[in-house]
Chain A
Amino acid sequence: DAGVTQSPTHLIKTRGQQVTLRCSPKSGHDTVSWYQQALGQGPQFIFQYYEEEERQRGNFPDRFSGHQFPNYSSELNVNALLLGDSALYLCASSLAWAGETSPLHFGNGTRLTVT
């Protein structure tokens, strides 16, 4: 039973560039959430996708955008990268029918470094 998979594992970008991170949810899951985890802090909610639409968004600027595909996989795009965007980006999947009580299953994350 495949868990949540994220790619790439590590990424180094320069300020001002754009980046795309990818996520495949756990088998059977239909909802994908993205979190940003800065060093030494807890994860911060970016947004959640369900039925190919953004269902909820956290307090992140429009530079952060996403997409969900018909096979439930998802992408996170960040434009005009800032040094402060350096973080571990975590993807989590869950089941929509279980609602807000559904435990999230997380991937190992993508470590983004902006220089």
Chain B
Amino acid sequence: AQKVTQAQTEISVVEKEDVTLDCVYETRDTTYYLFWYKQPPSGELVFLIRRNSFDEQNEISGRYSWNFQKSTSSFNFTITASQVVDSAVYFCALSWYNDYKLSFGAGTTVTVRA
């Protein structure tokens, strides 16, 4: 079965703290793509990052960074020095080679308090 699990339902932090969101996935495919999306209260899902299964290099983009580990099927996402505007629901998602649908996790609600 191909599945995305986000075990954390809600995370609450104070501004400027770092936030790490966990994502574990299951897939039998060797070629797949992992995504993180953010959904603010307005409802629109905003694309944040994408990673291919054959590229485990971890990167930092501004205040965002991610840790992709195929050995543990995890694709964790970190927000450094969180801000109130980061408050949203964050979704991890998975798609497969030659398959156009995204399979989303249940989401993690992040609340950043001033």
Complex interface bits, A34-57 against B, C-beta within 8 A gives 1, otherwise 0: 010000111111001000000110
Closest to B48 in A: A103
Contact of A43 with B95 at beta-carbon distance under 8 Å, contacts A55-B100, A103-B35 already known: no
User: Residue among B33, B98, B102 with the most chain A CB within 10 A?
Assistant: B102
Which residue on A lies nearest to B49, using beta carbons? A103
Asked whether any CB of chain B lies closer than 8 Å to the CB of A65, the reply is no
B33 to chain A, nearest CB (A): 5
From A41, A45, A99, A105, give the contact of B102 (CB < 8 A): A45
Question: Which one of B42, B95, B96, B106 has the greatest number of beta carbons of chain A within 10 Å?
Answer: B95
Task: Report which residue of A55, A100, A105 has the largest number of chain B beta carbons within 10 angstroms of its beta carbon.
Answer: A100
In the complex, chain B residues whose CB is within 8 Å of the CB of A45: 101-103
B50 at the interface (CB under 8 A from A): yes
Complex Cα gap A40–B106 (Å): 7
Chain A minimum-CB-distance residue to B31: A100
Query: Could you name 5 residue pairs across A and B whose Cβ atoms are closer than 8 Å?
Result: A31-B100, A42-B91, A43-B91, A56-B99, A108-B44
Judge if A72 is at the interface, Cβ distance under 8 Å: no
Write the residues of chain A forming the contact surface with B, with a CB cutoff of 8 angstroms: 31, 33, 35, 40-45, 48, 55-56, 58, 88, 90, 92, 99-101, 103-109, 111
| Minimal beta-carbon separation of A77 from chain B (angstroms) | 19
Binding site for A on B (CB under 8 A): 4, 33, 35, 37, 42-47, 50, 52, 91, 93, 95-107
Query: Once the chains bind, are B100 and A42 in contact (CB under 8 Å)?
Result: no
A106: which B residues are within 8 A, CB to CB?
37, 44-46
The listed residue (A88, A92, A101, A105) touching B33 by CB distance below 8 A is A101
By the criterion CB–CB under 8 Å, are A100 and B45 in contact? no
User: A42's contact among B46, B50, B95, B107, by CB below 8 Å, is which?
Assistant: B107
**A42:B44 contact, CB within 8 angstroms:** no
- Given the known interface contacts A101-B50, A108-B44, the answer about A41 and B99 at a Cβ–Cβ threshold of 8 Å is no
**In whole Å, how far is A97's beta carbon from the nearest beta carbon of chain B?**
13
Closest B residue, CB atoms, query A31? B100
